[in-house]
Structure 1
Amino acid sequence: MQEKSIKKILEREIKNFFQVKQSTRLWHIPVLAALCIGTPLLVGLYFDSLKSGLLASLAGLVILYIPTSNSIVNRMTTLFICSFGFMISCFVGLIFSFNPLVSTIVFGIFSSIVFSINLYFKTKPPASFFFILIAALAGGMPHDIKSIPEKVGLIALGTILACTLALIYSLITKKKQEKKEGNLLPELQAKDKSSIIIESLMIGFFMFSSTLFGHLLKLQNPYWIPISCLAVMQGATLYHIWERVFHRILGTFLGLGLCWIVLSVTNTPLSICLTIITLQFIIEMLIVRHYALAVIFITPMTILLAEASNPLIQDPNLLIYTRLIDISIGSLIGAIGGWFIHHEKIRFYATNKLRNVKKSIQGK
């Protein structure tokens, strides 16, 4: 009986891995995302400032938060709020990067706050992911207080471009959206506030732990571990999390192979920029259809976006080896974190403890 159940599980997983889901997502969004990412890159390249272009293009990812079924006013309001969030994330990461321990503690607290806000307002995917990603990347940058306004300004410019393109897109597709309605903000989450607090604290703790682990290992870019950890922990269920671990590690392994090929071929800044744009378009076409396939392209895209100005990119073998270790460690920590979040006994115990603390405080 046990052999039959194991066989069924394996057959189901293999079937799920090769199954591409149907999606109603329009092709407009992948094109829009590619433009928001690509335009700052090409502008930065033209002015011989690829590093600045890369930071501004990262801010262009705010376009992924555009509500597809809302009115123009609601769309732009959502993007403006998210843009402001991107700038805060960058500022928090940069201002506390003077000390690894302080930066790690603040990053954990900030991640917990950001996650709780997104959970409370029921923000759709990518939810808190890119806010935490930007904070992680900024925290890994060398501390230079004089350059903080410039870097936050580049994030602002990237979001302004994304909002401008979103407005143009919304005006072009206005007639198709007139029959659809939406709220100014996403509807409130039905979850109990105690559950939101517990889940957010767990996210913050594992963001802190994964970043600290990266610093203890003396990794050059420790932010890759919490980013991978968060990508796995955002699974909707415990099964979904373990599925994501499997998909992410397998997809990452194949993606690193693709990245090695890309780095071997793309030896000019222009070719790197064009590759990032192409990869972003492919990712947005695949992410809602098949996570593992999308990860194959996410891996080289994120490496190029984060490391294009890093001298290490000139040594593809060392870069690929380093990223494989980082992402694998992060994914495994994320699986452990996901188990804690979705373990009913732990959640029930923690929620009861929190309620008892509240009652004792109110009683006083």
Structure 2
Amino acid sequence: MSSPSRWRRIGNDLKALLTIHKHPRPWHLPLVAALAASLPMFLGALTDTMSQAVLASIGGLVIIYMPHAPLMRRLITVIVALFGFIVSFSFVDSLSFNPYVGAFAVALITMLANGLVRYWQIPPPGRFFFIMIAALAATLPFDIALLPVRIGWLTVGAIFAVVLVVLYSLAIPVTHHAKPIEPVAPVFRREIITESVLIGMIVGGSLALANGIGLVNPYWVPISCAAIMQGATVRDMRHRKIHRISGTIIGMALAYWLWSWNMSPLQVALAVFVLMFIIETLIVRHYGLTVVFITPMTLLLAESALGNLALEELVQARVVDIALGSTIGFVAGWLLLYRRQRASRLN
């Protein structure tokens, strides 16, 4: 017979899964993020360069790293993230001529991103978008002649986001001085290196596994794996796994409905704007609801660049990707968390 404490824990888990948190995020912050992600696609739709504009739109996601701080702090942070985006994309895209070499490149980018984020104690989204961009680069059709063009479009989108950061900061200045970013204590630096190597092997290995079993464009396997491992505790990771899988299933239904419209490029750009606004409004309030809208937006961006699957195949492939990546991320994240806690006790 189950003890009352066990049922209480289950009840607390269900409450945490369903709770929508209050957060004082102003409406204009999601609006600026939505503009950074969608305006390149509007321009691409008007100039018939949609496939290239998608890369600029992905570059525009650099605005998500804008901190709540004065203009110079914002500029430095976003520009550093911009260079990180370019390095992640260009390094992996140049090595994606072989799926396993590409997976190895994703592993190296993951190691570097995790190490720098942990060393400088960068808050969420942390390493996530650098890994996402690397995973997408690994699944693009390899063409070394297109590499400079792809990097150029990504950079243009990121620079446009930097301009928006300046305009937004001048229009709505922030006087609050955020806590300065400081490196971790020396005693933890060796632990960060070890952890980064392990996380890189796990994320890169998940992509190699997906390629090995023949999944088509399995960029969401490493993305899901990295997203689940963002959790700080086993409970967080369990909740993220439940939210990600359930949110993805609902999100796929939403994506299927959107795709059934046979949307024009302008309508796709409008959908990205609306979805990005909703995502940035919900992300601080409820992860599962956010995933519902992340799913179709990621599909609109990634599949506009790849675009070689029928709708039914696309939905099936992405659900399998996320289930596999989430499972790998949960198991690996639990082992890493146990190892981190054990190392902290020893120190």
- Pairwise same-fold verdict (TM > 0.5): yes
Which of 319, 322, 328 does residue 327 from structure 1 map onto?
322
Which 10-residue stretch deviates more, 150-159 or 99-108?
A: 99-108
Q: Note if 1:158 corresponds to 2:153.
A: no
Cα gap change, 1:161 to 1:6, in 2 (>3 Å): same
**Map of 1:20-31 to 2, 5 A cutoff?**
20-31=20-31
Q: What is the rounded CA distance, in whole Å, between the counterparts of 1:308 and 1:6 in structure 2?
A: 47
**Considering only aligned residues, what root-mean-square deviation do their CA atoms show, in Å?**
2.0
Residues 256 and 315, structure 2, Cα contact 8 Å, conserved in 1: yes
Residues 224 and 326, structure 1, Cα contact 8 Å, conserved in 2: yes
Give the superposition deviation at 1:143.
Answer: 1.6
In structure 1, stretches of 5+ residues that fail to align are 356-364
Query: Which AA in structure 2 matches 1:217?
Result: I
Give the superposition deviation at 1:318.
Answer: 1.8
Which 10-residue stretch deviates more, 210-219 or 268-277?
A: 268-277
In our comparison, the structure showing a higher alpha carbon Rg is 1
Residues 341 and 347, structure 1, Cα contact 8 Å, conserved in 2: no
Cα gap change, 1:255 to 1:44, in 2 (>3 Å): same
Query: Which AA in structure 1 matches 2:147?
Result: I
Q: What is the rounded CA distance, in whole Å, between the counterparts of 1:138 and 1:290 in structure 2?
A: 29
In structure 2, stretches of 5+ residues that fail to align are none
Cα deviation per residue 1:269-300 (whole Å; 9 max; x = unaligned)? Answer: 22222111101100000011000011111111
Cα deviation per residue 1:153-186 (whole Å; 9 max; x = unaligned)? Answer: 1111011100001000001112xx23x1136x62
Instruction: Give 2:216's aligned residue.
Output: 220
Instruction: Give 2:196's aligned residue.
Output: 200
Instruction: Give 1:173's aligned residue.
Output: 172
SS in 2 for 1:222: coil
Cα deviation per residue 1:75-117 (whole Å; 9 max; x = unaligned)? Answer: 1111111111111111111111111222212221221111100
Residues 203 and 222, structure 2, Cα contact 8 Å, conserved in 1: yes
Instruction: Give 1:307's aligned residue.
Output: 303
**TM-score of the aligned structures, taking structure 1 as reference length:** 0.90
Q: What is the rounded CA distance, in whole Å, between the counterparts of 1:266 and 1:127 in structure 2?
A: 35
Instruction: Give 1:242's aligned residue.
Output: 238
Q: Note if 1:116 corresponds to 2:115.
A: yes
Instruction: Give 1:271's aligned residue.
Output: 267
SS in 1 for 2:118: helix
Q: What is the rounded CA distance, in whole Å, between the counterparts of 1:78 and 1:345 in structure 2?
A: 28
Q: What is the rounded CA distance, in whole Å, between the counterparts of 1:219 and 1:346 in structure 2?
A: 35
Instruction: Give 1:358's aligned residue.
Output: none
Give the superposition deviation at 1:16.
Answer: 1.6
Q: What is the rounded CA distance, in whole Å, between the counterparts of 2:183 and 2:151 in structure 1?
A: 30
Residues 272 and 308, structure 1, Cα contact 8 Å, conserved in 2: no
Query: Which AA in structure 2 matches 1:12?
Result: N
Q: What is the rounded CA distance, in whole Å, between the counterparts of 1:311 and 1:196 in structure 2?
A: 38
Which of 301, 312, 316 does residue 317 from structure 1 map onto?
312
**Map of 1:13-24 to 2, 5 A cutoff?**
13-24=13-24
SS in 1 for 2:260: helix
Instruction: Give 2:343's aligned residue.
Output: 348
Cα deviation per residue 1:29-69 (whole Å; 9 max; x = unaligned)? Answer: 2001110011100111111011111110001000000011x
Residues 39 and 269, structure 2, Cα contact 8 Å, conserved in 1: no
Q: What is the rounded CA distance, in whole Å, between the counterparts of 1:151 and 1:312 in structure 2?
A: 19
Instruction: Give 2:332's aligned residue.
Output: 337
Instruction: Give 1:94's aligned residue.
Output: 93
Q: Count matched residues.
A: 346
Give the superposition deviation at 1:198.
Answer: 2.3
Structure 1 vs Structure 2: percent identity of aligned residues?
Answer: 37
Cα deviation per residue 1:8-33 (whole Å; 9 max; x = unaligned)? Answer: 22222221222110112222220011
Residues 216 and 317, structure 2, Cα contact 8 Å, conserved in 1: no
Cα deviation per residue 1:285-330 (whole Å; 9 max; x = unaligned)? Answer: 00110000111111111111110244446x3222111110111100
Which of 252, 258, 261 does residue 254 from structure 2 map onto?
258
Give the superposition deviation at 1:346.
Answer: 8.2
**TM-score of the aligned structures, taking structure 2 as reference length:** 0.95
Residues 46 and 266, structure 2, Cα contact 8 Å, conserved in 1: no
Query: Which AA in structure 2 matches 1:38?
Result: S
Instruction: Give 1:73's aligned residue.
Output: 72
Query: Which AA in structure 1 matches 2:89?
Result: C
Give the superposition deviation at 1:199.
Answer: 1.8
SS in 2 for 1:298: helix
Q: What is the rounded CA distance, in whole Å, between the counterparts of 2:196 and 2:211 in structure 1?
A: 23
Cα gap change, 1:212 to 1:181, in 2 (>3 Å): same
Q: Note if 1:4 corresponds to 2:10.
A: no
Residues 218 and 318, structure 2, Cα contact 8 Å, conserved in 1: no
Query: Which AA in structure 2 matches 1:142?
Result: P
SS in 2 for 1:98: coil
Q: What is the rounded CA distance, in whole Å, between the counterparts of 1:345 and 1:102 in structure 2?
A: 29
